[in-house]
Structure 1
Amino acid sequence: MTITADLAGKRALVTGGASGIGFAAARLLAQCGAAVAVNHLADDPRGDDAAGQLRADGATALAVAGDVSDPGDAARMVGEAVEALGGLDILINNAGTPGAREPIAFSDLDAMTEEFWSKLISTNLIGPFRCVKAAAPALKASRGVVVSTASIAGLGKAGSSLAYAASKAGLVNLTRNLAQALAPEVRVNAVAPGLTRTPWTDVWPQERKDRSVANTMLQRMVEPEDIAETMLFLCAQGAITGQTVVVDCGRLG
């Protein structure tokens, strides 16, 4: 069963919307009637493809290139999306990076270079702040909502690296503080996925995924659609703010 809601007339921006969780969120919002701006990196052709798929399904959708890790580019991208949509009701802060193709053991401190830290913090933590700051006037005007993609790595579970876990822990804290800063006009929440089937995890050895799945109550990976449906709930429900909702198939217990 797919969760649904009436989002007719709503305008949404999904960062990192070209694949994985971001595309699942963009598609579900569009299916519920929202006009959707799909953000993607300028050199990623999947952004135009994703927006095209949504339009082929009858939705109003456009692609907006931009890098949330770049202060000027992030603000420009949000402004372009708001102008094209004629306002903004929903901001999905999904753009993020693990910074590496494979998980890095927390004990490997040498891998946590200044450059690595800078990339992850700028993308995963300051990036969402940049987008919220740029979108705040439009979101306040519409009494809108922000939903960010955090991670159970930010809640004490091992993530793809020490720096990644720290960036997501910061995002959990930022979510709560932005909810206070933008209240009462704007609600701000986050979703914390567990191991999710995405292009990043698709290439993992099956035994690594099996080990993680064995530690969940539901004995399966999280699907991008699971996260998208939780994001939709947080967009449609009007009394939840400052919260991070765990969606991990029972990994945290």
Structure 2
Amino acid sequence: MIKADLSGRSVLVTGGASGIGLAAVTLFAGCGADVVLNHLAEDARGPEAAARLAAEGLKVRALAGNVALPGEAEAMVGRGIDALGGLDILINNAGTPASTTPIDFADLDAMTEDFWQTILSTNLIGPYRCARAAAPALRRRKGAIVNTASVAGLGRRGSSIAYSASKAGLVNLTRSLARALAPEVRVNAVAPGLVETPWTETWPAERKAETLSRTLLARLAKPEDIAEAMLFLAAGAAYVTGETLVVDGGML
């Protein structure tokens, strides 16, 4: 696991209550950063994780807010920046498959208008809302944004057509924001393969086995693997912007 000295740096992680987001909160705080862990208001895991990490001596605080809701997302980012006294790094990790199990691509009827709206508002428009709200603070600090995309946005099969489309859009949004916020702010993304998270615990065993058979490193990713790539892009990689770093164990 790589490390960096983030003493005096401020970080906001959306969707930080579990999985990749919580791994990012833990890693960045462990490097000395002051971290805001964003979570859904109804998700008790966020405050519990923040309290546990704070008890371990890390600078972590919880902040409720739903990035899928216009107005609420921007207000949450504003409160986070006020609490931190500025912002150096935004990790746009909040996302949803809007389904507990994968939806066959041929099952078009399963992807209703509401299903599409939930996914796009969370996975694509949500990161834009947060980036727009954070942009002035990030510009002042010459900061960085890291978005959580997916190999599903790069042509691999995702949990649904809608999910894959949202992540493809996020890859494009990453490039566009890199142009919009340059030269002060770098914007990159990570594209995980299949990760061991609460999302994938209930996925069919045969789906996981098929993915594993095509993965050169012969294991599924752990959330910490993705967090490490986020740290590289946020705290290092000073001449990298507009890129999407694939973190899939060689599957692609």
Q: TM-score range by the shorter chain?
A: over 0.9
Q: Which amino acid aligns with 1:212?
A: T
User: 2:210 is matched with which residue?
Assistant: 211
Q: Which amino acid aligns with 1:241?
A: T
Which range is displaced more, 59-68 or 49-58?
49-58
Q: Which amino acid aligns with 2:155?
A: G
User: 1:82 is matched with which residue?
Assistant: 81
Whether 2:241 is the aligned partner of 1:241: answer yes
Structure 1 CA distance for aligned equivalents of residues 156 and 25 of structure 2: 27
Structure 2 CA distance for aligned equivalents of residues 240 and 54 of structure 1: 31
Query: Do the aligned partners of 2:124 and 2:166 also contact (CA within 8 Å) in 1?
Result: yes
User: 1:250 is matched with which residue?
Assistant: 250
Q: Which amino acid aligns with 1:239?
A: Y
1:218 Cα offset (Å): 1.0
1:203 Cα offset (Å): 2.1
User: 1:154 is matched with which residue?
Assistant: 153
TM-superposition CA deviations, 1:11-66 (whole Å, max 9, x none): 00000000000000000000000000000000000110111122122111110100
User: 2:43 is matched with which residue?
Assistant: 44
TM-superposition CA deviations, 1:160-214 (whole Å, max 9, x none): 0000000000000000000000000000000000000000111223333122111
Query: Do the aligned partners of 2:34 and 2:84 also contact (CA within 8 Å) in 1?
Result: yes
Gaps of 5+ in 1: none
Gaps of 5+ in 2: none
Whether 2:201 is the aligned partner of 1:202: answer yes
Q: CA RMSD in A?
A: 0.7
Query: Do the aligned partners of 2:101 and 2:202 also contact (CA within 8 Å) in 1?
Result: no
Q: Which runs of 4+ in 1 moved over 4 A?
A: none
Structure 1 CA distance for aligned equivalents of residues 205 and 96 of structure 2: 22
TM-score by length of 1: 0.98
User: 1:220 is matched with which residue?
Assistant: 219
Number of residue pairs aligned between Structure 1 and Structure 2: 251
Give % identity.
64
Structure 1 CA distance for aligned equivalents of residues 122 and 8 of structure 2: 30
1:118 Cα offset (Å): 0.6
TM-score by length of 2: 0.98
Structure 2 CA distance for aligned equivalents of residues 112 and 57 of structure 1: 43
